[in-house]
Structure 1
């Protein structure tokens, strides 16, 4: 675990997180331990679908078994997320960008890579893009000087055949 609460993940774990539903599951289980059924109800998804994704995340080491309870002869498994923020080393944006993992321990140079998947309607995607542009513009005008930092953000629909 890194100082900012991020978990260092490997390539296999990074691939597991390339799904918007799995990101939602991780955030739900970061708040409190729940069963697959409880997560499915919270996210308004089918229990079988959520159970499948929870099993993949658990097998990949991103979820932990927090508790088991026997209720009317049925064993309920409560899962919790290992973290809700992740660091995948080596996610470089290009040769001009300084890459040094000392940035995660308070050293220099500072370089971070953030990525996620969002499940957005067309209207939400437009609103998200507008809010992101406004945030970037605010910081473009707000800077007081210092070192130059690059910010690269890509928003685009994911091809349905790539999703699990």
Structure 2
């Protein structure tokens, strides 16, 4: 598998393209479907017009997230099939510029959509005792050296990259991971008796 490319949203134009909720839904539909789709197929999933989907596709192509995969003749009409490229997007949370607030809003949107999807899955699951049916949520604290943190980061990236393309007997699992180092809690100095 080829190495996944990383795009960092560093300009207002890039942020404006990526922040659009319909484009977020379009990207997710392509990832969940796992194969190229036509604007018409995407319009059925997103419940918007095929012409709107085509506009969103052009913007996502401009950002380098989608490309034309192939065309097929269907009833004499050339249908264009688009695919999501193996690209990860960094919202540039480490950048200190005038897009900081937009980055926070985008992060909130993405995490809220993920959390709402998880809660919906829990509600619809028939066997709620089976984690492989419902999915799972976990949180906690781990204590890592700089080397351990780098190892964990690359382990996660390598694993998700290796499983980003559908295979035989696979189903799409949506995931989100937030990990960050805490600042140490300052120790209180004991008062000395006078």
- Retained in 1: the 8 A contact 2:7–2:88? no
Deviation at 1:73, TM superposition (A): 2.8
TM-score (norm 1): 0.53
| Bigger Cα displacement from structure 2, 5-14 vs 37-46 | 5-14
Deviations 1:47-75 (A, max 9, x none): 23222211221233321110012223321
How many correspondences in the alignment?
Answer: 118
Kindly indicate which of the two structures has a greater share of residues assigned to helix: 2
Matching residue of 1:92: 94
Deviations 1:105-163 (A, max 9, x none): xxxxxxxxx94744969x949x69xxxxx85xx314xx346468149xxxxxxxxxxxx
Between the two structures, name the one with larger relative contact order (CA 8 Å, sep ≥ 6).
1
Matched, 1:28 2:60: no
Q: Which ranges of structure 1 fall in alignment gaps of 5 or more residues? A: 95-113, 129-133, 152-164
Q: Which ranges of structure 2 fall in alignment gaps of 5 or more residues? A: 97-105, 121-136, 147-179, 184-194
Taking structure 1 as reference, are residues 82 and 145 closer, same or farther at Cα in structure 2, changes over 3 Å only?
closer
Taking structure 1 as reference, are residues 57 and 93 closer, same or farther at Cα in structure 2, changes over 3 Å only?
closer
Q: How large is the Cα RMSD of the aligned pairs?
A: 3.8
Deviation at 1:45, TM superposition (A): 2.7
